[in-house]
Structure 1
Amino acid sequence: MNTAQSWQHEFPLDPNICYLNHAAVAPWPQRAVEAVSRFARENALQGARDYPRWAKQEKHLRNQLRLLLNAPSSDDIALVKNTSEALSFVAQGIAWQAGDQIVTSDQEFPSNRIPWQALSERGVNLRQVALDGADPEQALIDAMGPHTRLLTISSVQYASGLKMDLARLGTACRARGVLFCVDAIQSLGALPFDAQAIDCDFAMADGHKWLLGPEGLGVFYCRASARDQLSLTQHGWHMVEAMGNYDLTDWSPAQSARRFEAGSPNTLAQHALSASLEVLLDVGIEQVATLLHQRTRYLIGRLEQLPGIRLLSPQTADRQSGIVTFAIDGIDHAALHRALMKAGVICAQRGGGIRWSPHFYTSENTLDLALSQLQTLMAAQQSKSTSR
């Protein structure tokens, strides 16, 4: 049976911690650890003798990412350092004109805000739309006008965990001739993602969150028809069409998304990420999402029973992701976060509260222990406040 318990052997976490921080940096599955160990031994004993095999591994990784994104082709997949790099490729690659407008939300992580703000020196206006209304998609759609060139939005908001209706936004962009860019870092590997169904031009994500991989390697999906709309900002031996022909002086960029990969690939991280994706694909992303939804619903249900807690994450199923953020009346959240970390509940302080982010394999026992620690620390803080 494909349950969370049947996959816990892949995650031999320290029994003294409750890991609820996948929206920040995830632990590697055992397969990734073993893949890195094998690669390191191979490199130490043989150097790059088997480099052609490394190239095959790179090709395999592209296809794994194609499957997770439901991209039309692995040619649409570029392997990048991180989400910020991919977003910068888009921001710096478009031929902007003074007066152009970009629409985004007021809840974006800096990676999906700073590259666009940096365009102000070219006369490009960034419009940040509030998402706290009853219909956040309509608010974004209404903000698009005749000068809007691009809509950029996170698939899931990093602080609240709000899940966006990307297909609706993609339809609106296509009807208006607006480019559609999706920062998918808080959903890829946790929830199904379909680049074709949502009709996006660009999507990107790091490997070190829900994809369970290492830092320093991410994915950039670029629709084939949109590639020529981006001027290249980096150049090197790896991004040319005739890669491997080192004597050719009359070069041209690769027709595929490899054109965004300037130099030597991160082969070590490729081996690790590929092993991590193998776990997700073996479980099946639909089942990953089902198991994760069970965990977030369990957390929300238990948190709602605790006095003084306010949920900051959506409570309707169609808006929920793997992120559960909550605040506590009369509590110093910075102090509470430090205490939780010291007690072994690995989490983050985000969005005015405490953010917990389990994954599909997280056991109910882990959640119960984290909740017990939370109750103990809440009582201690409240007692200290009362005694003053």
Structure 2
Amino acid sequence: MTATVSINAISNAQHWEGKSYLNTAAEGLPLLSAVDAVQEYLFDKTHGEPGRVQFWHRYERAKELAGELFSVDADQIALISSTTEALNTIANSIDWRPGDEVVFTSSEFPSNIFPWVTLQKRGVKLRIVHPGADGVSVDELLEQINERTRLVTVSQVSYATGQRIDPAPIWRRVKDTETLLCVDATQAAARVPIDGQMADFTVASAFKWMNSIHGAAVMSVSRRVLAQDVVGPAGWLSTENCFADDRLEAFHPRGDAQRFQAGMPNFDSIYSLAAALEFHTPDAVAARAKTMAPLVSSLRASLVEMGLTPLVPESEASQAGIVPFAYNGSAEMKKQLAERGIFVQGDDRRIRAALHWYNTEEDVQRYLGALRELIDESQLPTAPLAGSRR
């Protein structure tokens, strides 16, 4: 990784000189400003209860900036601890009825599978769409939606294949019905543009592409959900007035997205998130996505030339930052690449590279050169996995 003005925005940038970090989809490198913000939180914390003035100031700023990134108003933003918490909160906030159905894909991260799988004991039916040769078909997703569909949930960018899906056609299908749409934007937010107006719920963790730290995630909530009797967790933060005279008899949820937050926010993470979102403005994200697109496409094409099987579709419109390929010896390959100063993900018989704004052509060429050497040495098969649908 070549040290540039841009990479110097990353904390401990000197550690990555001469190395290629291509694993943002697993763990993003924190911005220097995000790390400094945590120190500011700790300083404010030393002021005791009066320090809370600054806590809530950063909280409101983070909501404002998150609203801009998600293309919604600040009152439609909830700040929770993780995408997993958000998805479970959504699952537990819906009044499920026996016979209701959930539509999702088999290439979702487990956090976007398990909450729906557990609903089967309540009589909820699952409709699962599998990726084909060109990835997940939006048309097939639309075909699974019927009058019993209560929720459709899909990743804007798949952690497994890197495929980028436009939620707009699904939103157009459901927005005037009782079907809700949830978009997991964890692998999209701060890497490519996202639009919270195209879903009822859009969720994303901050420790990956947003270059923040663990403990904060963003969830946007549609106006139509906020107008419905969809109640999140019951806590002092999610109610209109935690000291209401009738608090022993009734719970009154807030009218904004904060109804999905039960208690004290993770202010240290929120300080970091606010700083990261100052860096990841919508215009900056769009510009970086455009700049990075040729590098992503070039990496995919190079893998094909090497006889490997990329899992991300060939169409640039279906790409974001993740470029994985099927490989039976992925765990060992990941280890050997790391020994050469190249960091990727290597689980589930896939090698997954993730390109973010701090990655360069030099990073990619170093990675490709090492791949060629290791594949020649290993003699491991590079064909698609037996029985794999993608």
Fold shared, TM-score > 0.5 on shorter chain:
yes
- Measure the CA separation in 2 of the matches of 1:276 and 1:122: 40
- Measure the CA separation in 2 of the matches of 1:283 and 1:14: 27
Of 5-14 and 223-232, deviating more is 223-232
Task: Tell whether 2:284 aligns with 1:284.
Answer: yes
**Partner residue in 2 for 1:386:** none
- Measure the CA separation in 1 of the matches of 2:302 and 2:142: 36
Q: Which amino acid aligns with 2:222?
A: R
Q: Which amino acid aligns with 1:367?
A: V
Q: CA RMSD in A?
A: 2.2
Task: Tell whether 2:338 aligns with 1:341.
Answer: yes
Task: Quickly say closer, same or farther: Cα 1:233–1:257, change in 2 above 3 A.
Answer: closer
Query: Structure 1, residues 59-93: CA drift from partner, whole Å, max 9, x if none?
Result: 0000111001101x211100111111111122111
Q: Flag structure 1 segments of 5+ consecutive residues without an equivalent.
A: 384-388
- Measure the CA separation in 2 of the matches of 1:48 and 1:348: 43
SS in structure 1 of the partner of residue 30 of structure 2:
coil
Query: Structure 1, residues 268-318: CA drift from partner, whole Å, max 9, x if none?
Result: 101111111111128612112112313312322333332x32212111111
Of 18-27 and 5-14, deviating more is 5-14
**Partner residue in 2 for 1:356:** 353
Q: Which amino acid aligns with 2:16?
A: D
* Number of residues of Structure 1 aligned to a counterpart in Structure 2: 371
Q: Flag structure 2 segments of 5+ consecutive residues without an equivalent.
A: 381-390
- CA apart distance, 1:249: 5.0
SS in structure 1 of the partner of residue 58 of structure 2:
helix
- Measure the CA separation in 1 of the matches of 2:283 and 2:23: 20
- CA apart distance, 1:380: 2.6
- CA apart distance, 1:49: 3.1
Give me the TM-score of the superposition, normalised by structure 2: 0.89
**Partner residue in 1 for 2:309:** 310
- CA apart distance, 1:228: 5.3
- Measure the CA separation in 2 of the matches of 1:233 and 1:58: 19
SS in structure 1 of the partner of residue 273 of structure 2:
helix
Task: Tell whether 2:321 aligns with 1:319.
Answer: no
Task: Tell whether 2:96 aligns with 1:96.
Answer: yes
Percent sequence identity over aligned pairs:
29
Give me the TM-score of the superposition, normalised by structure 1: 0.89
4+ residue segments displaced more than 6 Å: none
- CA apart distance, 1:117: 0.7
- CA apart distance, 1:146: 2.4
Aligned residue runs from structure 1 range 32-43, under 5 A: 32-43=34-45
Task: Tell whether 2:21 aligns with 1:19.
Answer: yes
- Measure the CA separation in 1 of the matches of 2:18 and 2:117: 42
Task: Tell whether 2:267 aligns with 1:270.
Answer: no
Query: Structure 1, residues 119-149: CA drift from partner, whole Å, max 9, x if none?
Result: 1111000110123165701101111122111
- Measure the CA separation in 1 of the matches of 2:196 and 2:348: 28
**Partner residue in 1 for 2:223:** 224
**Partner residue in 1 for 2:370:** 373
1:104–1:129: 8 Å Cα contact kept in structure 2? yes
- CA apart distance, 1:227: 2.9
- Measure the CA separation in 1 of the matches of 2:245 and 2:8: 50
